[in-house]
Structure 1
Amino acid sequence: MNKKNLRNFLFTNTFFIVLFLGILMVISLFISSNILFKNIYDSTIQNSVHSISELYNENMKYFEYFSSKYQDIVSEILDELYKNYINNIPFSSNLTIENFRKIGIFKNVDYYIINKNGIIIETSYDKDLGLNLANRVPNYWKKLNEELNKNNKYIEGISYEIKTNNPRIYGYLRMEDGNIFEIGILIDERAIPNFPKTVSSLNLNFIKSIYTYNISFIPYSFEFPLLDEEDKNIFNSLEISKGEIKTYTLRENSNGKESYVYIKWVPDKVNNKEFNFTVLTKISIDLSSIVILKNSIIFIFIVLIFFVIFSLALYLNYMTNRIEKPIMKLINNIESGKVDADAETNILEIDTLIKYYSHLVNTLVEKLKEEERDYLELKEKLQMIEKEKDLLYEMALKDDLTKLFNKKGSVQIIQKLVLNKESFSVIYLDIDNYNNILEKLGQNEANDAILSLVEIMKTIFRDRDFIFRVDENEFLILLRFVNLSIAQKILKRFVDALKKFNITSDKPYKISVSYGIIEYKGQNIEDLYNEARNKMEMMKMKKLELLKKLSDVNAEEN
């Protein structure tokens, strides 16, 4: 049997183990840093795509609003220009716009005659003369003919002109000879949210630039660079995302510091209104700072790891010498038969020390086990006391029915937000007909009405917001990080959801609410409650006055 000396056990073996662990740490550092980098990279892409998707779809509400608002006016202009055309009255864009001067967002109008093959054969806008819509936008040409087959007239939503990307509203009318009479009304781009142009100002982490183009690869802003053939091929092969952006293509540079995300987006229907334009989005992501930081951290950690290994080798050598010398001296004394009375290193003393140490250890182990049992029992008692304390505290701050914080809990939370200097708005909400439900349908249905309202609020208000039940039929909603304007929009979504519930629900009751909404501007908590509640009371009084007037009118008619 090969025997190893003490130095091999204490120094050599330990050194190689430490060296092996150091190499493992370096490998782990490489893997973990790459995983972290990949998570940041994926998160950056997902957040960017999500933010752009939200921006695009949120702005489509304004497009739908303007399209619906001016649809009848566009139809009137279409009829007037077509009448002038068939009566051979010379076309005048300025005169037509002057007749509709009340529409402040209209700047100019042009007409087009499109033959059955999709070619513009006559127009007041010379740049589009001869343009073949069937070849340029085949899907839209097919859709247009389908709409005109249903109805000889079709007014589409706001879109963008193919060549210039100017916002326009187009109207179409099937002529007796089968051709199509089209008008295109130029819209003042300052009057609508031109999000394909302004999306480049979106401030996102690690985003170097955001450029947008139409389906013909024309930039939405003259400041955006033109696409090269590789970009065009990527967009041509990319699947369209309608409404919410779900698909995109990623292209990475060989240096790993810069990547590009490609999105082909078309708007979804908004209130059954269709919109005909495409936004090709190219996002440039610059992670060079993260790559440099990652490489710097890896280099620093590698240097530190090897410095620790070197320092540990020196320390191991020093400790080995300190342990090895007296033991070797003892061995030499034993081998040589020398007896050093002062050293007290004879075998009998060593054996006695081992026996004493063994007895001492066994005694200590039993003592530690006994103390451990006592400690565990004490720990269990303390845990039970803490659980009972937490339960009593929660019962004092929460409502039994809804499990929402009560008024006392709301005061503590608002105090914490005020100390953190957070901005927020509050809505004080009261169920108008709660007592009526309670009297006619009983306590169970009244409780059900409370729970139904709470469920509606939870679906509308965000997870970071708070809902408090401050009285039997009164609630306080705290909207964090929003001003009064945004809070009113959120409140409108809640009111719409409540209306939908009252229409679609088969419950034996309808829920009517009054509310008051204010923004926190340094008031003390009591004033905050009172101001919001006073606004709610004012709304309730207006409802009662309106009901009284309606009752008086009905009484007079009878």
Structure 2
Amino acid sequence: MIEGFKEMKRENKNTSSLYQLFIVFCYSIAIIIFIFLNIRDWDFFFKDDERRRTVFLFIGYIILLVLSGALIFKINQIKKKIIELELEKIFLLEENQEYKKHIDQQKIYGTIDGMTGIYNRSFGLSFLDQQIKIAKRDRTDLTVSYLDINDLKIVNDTYGHSAGDALIIAACSILKENLRESDILCRMGGDEFLMILPGCSLEQADLVRKRVIDHLNEFNQKSILPYKLSISIGMAAYSCDADMILEQLINQADANMYYNKRHEKQNKLAIAEEN
């Protein structure tokens, strides 16, 4: 856009300059022709002071006319330059806004999961790594919860992937409702999520887990869907003494999540057998 504007500006500048020079040239030629047509006997014209004074006044008038034309020409050039600078300023501002918008979009797309609107895996891991360093330095609490939506494959196979996507979005909405401003929820991939709770002990995180389960039960009671939304949750607390690294903390929470998932399935089977 800017290059096109500069090219247009150069063309307009050259055209305008040539046009005004042509006007001044025409004025000069017209004045010279007028002089030669009206003053043929120069010796006679300079015989007395009165005529000499008339010639000097006329020459002065011509000089004044030429200088006035040059001044007008210069003023027009300055005006055009001011207009060009203002236009260029506007174009640069627009380009700057578009560039900032592009950068902001890249930042958003680089940290946000497109489908759910929560943070993606890359941002979540980066945030967790930072929180581990803070917890280690300040010896503060840090707990993570690894979450997995149960039976999502069955929903996808039976009712279609759009139904499965809607279930994932509903799960994210419920999880976000139970987070503090300092907490982070990120999508690890597919139907798996990581909840990062800085300054939160394992006991406090368990209260969050219970609130999530209560909200899930409320959702299922109100829902008219032929399937239920169920989430398995596994938690792990960072230990300063053990000097845990990021992978160890996540793996521990993931293992606890799968243990709870198996335990929940066993309970469901036991209840079904009793009935």
Could you state the TM-score of these two structures normalised by the residue count of structure 2?
0.61
- Superposed displacement of residue 420, structure 1: 4.8
Larger radius of gyration: 2
Identity %: 26
Match of 2:259 in 1: 538
> Residue 119 of structure 2 aligns to which amino acid in structure 1?
F
Q: Could you list the runs of 5+ residues in structure 1 that have no partner in the other structure?
A: 1-358
Q: Does 1:452 align with 2:206?
A: no
Q: 1:374 aligns with which of 66, 73, 88?
A: 88
Kindly report which structure 2 residues correspond to 1:275-314, keeping only aligned pairs within 5 A, or say none: none
Q: Could you list the runs of 5+ residues in structure 2 that have no partner in the other structure?
A: 1-72
Match of 1:388 in 2: 102
Match of 1:402 in 2: 116
- Superposed displacement of residue 375, structure 1: 3.5
Match of 2:210 in 1: 492
Residues 220, 229 of structure 2: 8 Å contact kept: yes
Classify 1:380/1:435 alpha carbon distance in 2 versus 1 (closer, same or farther; 3 Å): same
- Secondary structure of the structure 2 residue equivalent to 1:489: helix
- Secondary structure of the structure 1 residue equivalent to 2:259: helix
Distance in 2 (CA, whole Å) between partners of 1:503 and 1:457 is 17
Residues 186, 194 of structure 2: 8 Å contact kept: yes
- Superposed displacement of residue 542, structure 1: 2.0
Distance in 1 (CA, whole Å) between partners of 2:118 and 2:90 is 35
Distance in 2 (CA, whole Å) between partners of 1:459 and 1:404 is 12
- Superposed displacement of residue 526, structure 1: 2.2
Distance in 1 (CA, whole Å) between partners of 2:239 and 2:95 is 46
Match of 1:529 in 2: 250
Match of 1:32 in 2: none
Match of 1:510 in 2: 228
> Residue 470 of structure 1 aligns to which amino acid in structure 2?
M
- Secondary structure of the structure 2 residue equivalent to 1:449: helix
1:60-110 CA-to-partner distances (Å, cap 9, x unmatched) read: xxxxxxxxxxxxxxxxxxxxxxxxxxxxxxxxxxxxxxxxxxxxxxxxxxx
Q: 1:429 aligns with which of 133, 143, 147?
A: 147
- Secondary structure of the structure 2 residue equivalent to 1:533: helix
Classify 1:371/1:415 alpha carbon distance in 2 versus 1 (closer, same or farther; 3 Å): farther
Classify 1:367/1:462 alpha carbon distance in 2 versus 1 (closer, same or farther; 3 Å): same
Q: Does 1:414 align with 2:128?
A: yes
Distance in 2 (CA, whole Å) between partners of 1:430 and 1:488 is 16
> Residue 225 of structure 2 aligns to which amino acid in structure 1?
K
Kindly report which structure 2 residues correspond to 1:107-506, keeping only aligned pairs within 5 A, or say none: 367=81, 369-418=83-132, 420-421=134-135, 423-506=141-224
- Superposed displacement of residue 475, structure 1: 1.2
Count of matched residue positions in the alignment of Structure 1 and Structure 2: 196
- Secondary structure of the structure 2 residue equivalent to 1:509: coil
- Superposed displacement of residue 493, structure 1: 1.4
- Superposed displacement of residue 476, structure 1: 1.1
- Secondary structure of the structure 2 residue equivalent to 1:463: coil
Specify which structure has the higher proportion of helix: 2
Classify 1:368/1:519 alpha carbon distance in 2 versus 1 (closer, same or farther; 3 Å): farther
Q: 1:519 aligns with which of 229, 237, 256?
A: 237
- Superposed displacement of residue 366, structure 1: 5.7
Classify 1:418/1:369 alpha carbon distance in 2 versus 1 (closer, same or farther; 3 Å): farther
> Residue 252 of structure 2 aligns to which amino acid in structure 1?
E
- Superposed displacement of residue 430, structure 1: 0.5
> Residue 246 of structure 2 aligns to which amino acid in structure 1?
I
Distance in 2 (CA, whole Å) between partners of 1:499 and 1:530 is 28
Residues 145, 194 of structure 2: 8 Å contact kept: yes
- Secondary structure of the structure 2 residue equivalent to 1:482: coil
- Secondary structure of the structure 1 residue equivalent to 2:114: coil
Distance in 1 (CA, whole Å) between partners of 2:87 and 2:133 is 44
- Superposed displacement of residue 374, structure 1: 2.4
Distance in 2 (CA, whole Å) between partners of 1:419 and 1:365 is 61
- Superposed displacement of residue 492, structure 1: 1.1
- Superposed displacement of residue 488, structure 1: 1.0
> Residue 384 of structure 1 aligns to which amino acid in structure 2?
E
Specify which structure has the higher proportion of strand: 1
Classify 1:548/1:506 alpha carbon distance in 2 versus 1 (closer, same or farther; 3 Å): closer
Distance in 1 (CA, whole Å) between partners of 2:186 and 2:162 is 21
Residues 132, 142 of structure 2: 8 Å contact kept: no
- Superposed displacement of residue 424, structure 1: 2.9
* More contact order relative to length (CA 8 Å, sep ≥ 6): 2
Match of 1:118 in 2: none
Kindly report which structure 2 residues correspond to 1:57-76, keeping only aligned pairs within 5 A, or say none: none
- Superposed displacement of residue 464, structure 1: 3.0
Residues 236, 250 of structure 2: 8 Å contact kept: no
Distance in 2 (CA, whole Å) between partners of 1:476 and 1:540 is 16
Classify 1:361/1:485 alpha carbon distance in 2 versus 1 (closer, same or farther; 3 Å): farther
Classify 1:380/1:441 alpha carbon distance in 2 versus 1 (closer, same or farther; 3 Å): same
- Superposed displacement of residue 410, structure 1: 0.8
Distance in 1 (CA, whole Å) between partners of 2:262 and 2:110 is 33
> Residue 537 of structure 1 aligns to which amino acid in structure 2?
Y
- Secondary structure of the structure 1 residue equivalent to 2:88: helix
Distance in 2 (CA, whole Å) between partners of 1:432 and 1:480 is 26
> Residue 250 of structure 2 aligns to which amino acid in structure 1?
Y
1:393-438 CA-to-partner distances (Å, cap 9, x unmatched) read: 3223222221111111212222343455574321111111111111
Classify 1:419/1:390 alpha carbon distance in 2 versus 1 (closer, same or farther; 3 Å): farther
Match of 2:33 in 1: none
Distance in 2 (CA, whole Å) between partners of 1:398 and 1:460 is 19
Classify 1:383/1:491 alpha carbon distance in 2 versus 1 (closer, same or farther; 3 Å): same
Match of 2:22 in 1: none
Q: State the superposition RMSD in angstroms.
A: 2.9
Distance in 2 (CA, whole Å) between partners of 1:526 and 1:454 is 23
- Superposed displacement of residue 361, structure 1: 9.8
